[in-house]
Amino acid sequence: MEDFILKSTAFKNGMEIPKKYTCDGEDVNPFLEIKNAPEKTVSFALIVDDPDATRGTPWDHWLIWNIPAGTQYISEDSLPEEVAQGVNSFGRLKYGGPCPPLGAEAHNYRFVIYALDLVLDLLPGSPRADLERHMSGHVLAQAELNGFYKRADS
């Protein structure tokens, strides 16, 4: 079987995330493509975070789950129907783009999709810890797309 893949037309893995998808731009989620999910996938969950956050734990930018198994794309600035969103580190139930502190070095951002063997019984607005607890033991595979962003000093 081919590798499970998450990719984007907005940026290539390991490259800079365009300003449009950050707090300095339109702050909308980039187009994402899901490829080669395991056969027994029932749903997907997606966690977008910044592992370089200064408080010692990743800063959560987007938490979504119960993405239907047949989903191949998450369009720019949109969400598949029936998807639940968790509260991110900004305290919001939506995508929050990269926004490292002014003057900081570039931060890395991880878009990690999980293929799950069930639909999660988890209320919208739940935090990451609850999402991870509910996913535990149900991850069939995961795929990661990484990018970086550094804010202009002006």
- pLDDT tens for each residue of 91-130: 999 999 999 999 889 999 999 999 999 999 999 999 999 9
86 forms beta bridges with: none
- pLDDT tens for each residue of 56-75: 789 999 999 999 999 999 99
Alpha helices in 33-153 (DSSP H): 128-135
What is the C-alpha to C-alpha distance for residues 1 and 76, in angstroms, rounded to an integer? 28
Domains annotated on the chain, with CATH: 5-149 (3.90.280.10)
